[in-house]
Structure 1
């Protein structure tokens, strides 16, 4: 096979072009910190990267769901705590009204305060988080308690409001609000207010017994949401571990080894300089070179 000067020059230029391409690849890796900048660079790495990035996106969405679940549970627990404090104040007022030293006007003054406390509990029952009522089950767009001229009516939904906090794991984040803000509670407070307005409190012990029953129900509901909150924290810890693992795997798959890239780029630059030097000797001078 006859090798011509043109063939040698063409091959030299082709090798120089390939050398430029290799240097460009290493420079891109050094600039971006990634092994590949387009799927054609390494289809296997690109496909794995899509899968790992999808997993990381899911984990990030679960973290946002966890934040929502925390808001619901913490707000629910705060609502129960406030209602408990209000009921404790009501109990103190009932004990005060039973002393027998109160005049009818004193009892009416106590009734006024109890009426205010009753409306305060109703306002707590209408607590909203991000524009949604957290004590009305899945009907988050409507208030569970309405107040009309001092009269309170309750229309609560008790369905579970679930949030997906992990793959296939749905956690109930609301409480059974009827155990805390049910119509029985407001009926008891209304009967107590009416009795005080009448100027006598003969059945004070019965009211105290009913209030204690409401305390027990509130405490039980608070314990239940506390147990679910503990589980939520454990799920949160696991999600954080999954995020760390997913980020590490994604980094190992896509991130370039900077030290190795610098070394390869330096070697490629040396090879390219040598190629230029060799090509300058292989390509024979032409008549134009002598005419310069």
Structure 2
């Protein structure tokens, strides 16, 4: 038969008292915070899962901010491309008027002035900048997208800046000058058409038709760009909704993992207090026994 010494008994009882105090303090902390998981040791597996959920929420909230930024940029592009579309329509109307051989010199002079103004406005639109960064210059944002003088050389940088909008999902947040107009031929052809309107020659009709064709080609590119912008915007809307759903789901699971059941906690509190009180009484009673009590 193993003999239990006083020191061993005291150690066992102290350990029991300490365990009861730990359980009691844990319940007190849970009830004060309203969370059943306050430390990794409370439930290591659930705590690791909880950290994963927090990361999911943080990542998706960042994705939503990124999506908002990209959509804001797309809106800026859309505004400028819309302007180009309107200018192209006006150019088309003027070129169709100008090709009419019955116009007098005064009428042609008016068309020339308007075409020069529209060409200048189109080039200015393509060289729009935001906070010093040229919008349509690919990743070469410090240089304009197109020269405003002949031969209207376009910026050859056609690279895209990408933004992360989901797990392993990236989208371009810029549009290049070549995306919008295809080539700079319209401006050369406009110059030629303007020259013919100022001083008609034997090539008047072919030159005017060439300008009309170039402008229609530009207009088609512009419309395709607007369609692409709308498609990207709608796609980002869907991605954002998915991201919002992910955050909501993660928040729901997170709440289920860490939210305290106060009814259950109250039961555990009572049980822990009863156990602590019983241990304390037992320790006091046994520790108070002496040999004289047994005589």
Q: TM-score range by the shorter chain?
A: 0.7 to 0.9
Listed as ranges, the matches of 1:30-41 within 5 Å are 30-41=31-42
For residues 174 and 24 of structure 1, do their structure 2 counterparts lie closer, same or farther at Cα, with a shift above 3 Å needed? Answer: same
Query: Can you give the 5+ residue segments of structure 1 that lack an aligned partner in the other structure?
Result: 286-292
The answer to whether residue 170 in structure 2 is matched with residue 170 in structure 1 is: yes
Q: How many pairs are equivalent?
A: 283
The answer to whether residue 124 in structure 2 is matched with residue 120 in structure 1 is: no
For residues 208 and 12 of structure 1, do their structure 2 counterparts lie closer, same or farther at Cα, with a shift above 3 Å needed? Answer: same
For residues 2 and 50 of structure 1, do their structure 2 counterparts lie closer, same or farther at Cα, with a shift above 3 Å needed? Answer: closer
Match of 1:186 in 2: 187
Match of 2:251 in 1: 247
Listed as ranges, the matches of 1:153-164 within 5 Å are 153-164=153-164
Moved more, 94-103 or 64-73: 94-103
For residues 262 and 138 of structure 1, do their structure 2 counterparts lie closer, same or farther at Cα, with a shift above 3 Å needed? Answer: farther
Distance (whole Å) between structure 1 residues aligned to residue 133 and residue 126 of structure 2: 12
Distance (whole Å) between structure 1 residues aligned to residue 268 and residue 131 of structure 2: 54
Distance (whole Å) between structure 2 residues aligned to residue 217 and residue 198 of structure 1: 31
Structure-1-length-normalised TM-score: 0.74
Match of 2:105 in 1: 103
Distance (whole Å) between structure 1 residues aligned to residue 153 and residue 114 of structure 2: 19
Query: Can you give the 5+ residue segments of structure 2 that lack an aligned partner in the other structure?
Result: 290-295
Residue 84 of structure 1: how far off its partner (Å): 0.4
For residues 215 and 2 of structure 1, do their structure 2 counterparts lie closer, same or farther at Cα, with a shift above 3 Å needed? Answer: closer
SS at match of 1:209: helix
Match of 1:134 in 2: 135
Partner deviation per Cα, 1:222-265 (whole Å, 9 max, x = no partner): 33343344433333333232222233333333343344334433
| Residues 77, 175 of structure 2: 8 Å contact kept | yes
Residue 83 of structure 1: how far off its partner (Å): 0.6
Residue 130 of structure 1: how far off its partner (Å): 6.4
